[in-house]
Structure 1
């Protein structure tokens, strides 16, 4: 069962959260866009209020679940925007649904597969989670998503993100760490999609390096680089990114 919230009416916009997050992260965006759109924000299985039954899951399986959920909710030809892991899920959904998706947006995400260094980091994450559990992991994982120079300024937002992350299930965190590690390169899927494509990247992003974003920027119809922004542009540069997203979904 996929838990979600929605606001507004009109063209459907599905916002997919990232790792250690839930649909709640999109509340400010949903409220701002709901005057013109039907904005739907699911909790991926294993996060927020959506259950997960095992710690072995693939992004392809998640995409199938989301496709079935969209059919149940009468969400047709949506614009899909995903943050980080949500972007990986959105790309798997694009491969599954093709032209039944109207437009695709990635927030601090990539069509490339993990390199060997990143895969090893995922393995260390799984080991840490098994040994220490959810709370200890998320407390150490969330703050570095924000640039060090702004962590004091964004202390309240970081604490909110940590509290939301604590709602993640152990099975979900382990399962998605493995799923991200094992995901395939979907650059060709992205390039072959003829609809509008947006990539928002941060120059200080420690999770998705700016060099990787620049390498694939020609696969997108719109590429936005945020100077001095880390992995959480929707929080760090809310007004600017909201303006970019609004312009993208209107077009």
Structure 2
């Protein structure tokens, strides 16, 4: 029996929304509420995040994907549309490798199919050092605010505070494991490019975590590509209604609604 905790609402075509690093499934609650009129929306806590315990053998995104596939089988989540934010996008690509055509469609939300370059790997290593020295609370308090451009942080202070509170539900072992897994993940561009299902990518022009230059290199590999102007790494907060309509429109087109 899977130990993955999840939030679910609605009926119909399954839509799985996967959260990112320092996030939990609850981050998608507004999206799930809005989409549940048309779809069965399921928002899991990744293992080691929120209410989902971390597996003892969890060292790679591939291992996380195996756990998610088992969870989907147990909960009759068949032929899902899977959309992942940031780390959730990396997990989505790992699921694609594992499940292939069992996925109806996929979406990357402020995410990338490219592996980390050496500069990014160095940053991951420094993150691990910081986490081991200072712990979860101090890390997430410094990590979350820069995900939104500085000039907009006052406007979204309440949302930032909520995101920090949710991030504090992460476990230290989970954050370290996911940092290593992101650092060591394989390049997934060809996997994305070769998938015959429909594919969505949403990018932010001011995203400091996934540079817009890298996002634009995905245009040829996806079915639908959207840029959110003046948006950082949290489009579901900074431009919630626009982001929601993009996701809704994608799911409707994929489902033939």
TM normalised by structure 2 equals: 0.97
- 1:60 counterpart (26, 38, 62): 62
Question: Matches of residues 232-243 of structure 1 in structure 2 within 5 Å?
Answer: 232-243=234-245
Give 1:41's aligned residue.
Answer: 43
Supply the distance in 1 between the matched residues of 2:133 and 2:58 (Cα, whole angstroms). Answer: 18
Supply the distance in 2 between the matched residues of 1:89 and 1:41 (Cα, whole angstroms). Answer: 13
- 1:96 counterpart (74, 98, 113): 98
Supply the distance in 1 between the matched residues of 2:164 and 2:68 (Cα, whole angstroms). Answer: 25
Which secondary structure state, in structure 1, belongs to the residue aligned with residue 54 of structure 2? coil
Question: Matches of residues 173-188 of structure 1 in structure 2 within 5 Å?
Answer: 173-188=175-190
Supply the distance in 2 between the matched residues of 1:10 and 1:46 (Cα, whole angstroms). Answer: 29
Equivalent pairs counted in the alignment come to 251
Give 2:215's aligned residue.
Answer: 213
Question: Matches of residues 139-154 of structure 1 in structure 2 within 5 Å?
Answer: 139-154=141-156
TM normalised by structure 1 equals: 0.99
Give 2:124's aligned residue.
Answer: 122
Which secondary structure state, in structure 2, belongs to the residue aligned with residue 133 of structure 1? helix
- 1:76 counterpart (59, 75, 78): 78
The C-alpha deviation readout for 1:2-52, integer Å capped at 9, x for no partner, is 000100000000000000000000000000000010000000011110011
Give 1:191's aligned residue.
Answer: 193
Supply the distance in 2 between the matched residues of 1:46 and 1:231 (Cα, whole angstroms). Answer: 22
- 2:227 counterpart (211, 225, 228): 225
Q: Check conservation: 1:54, 1:171, Cα contact below 8 A.
A: no
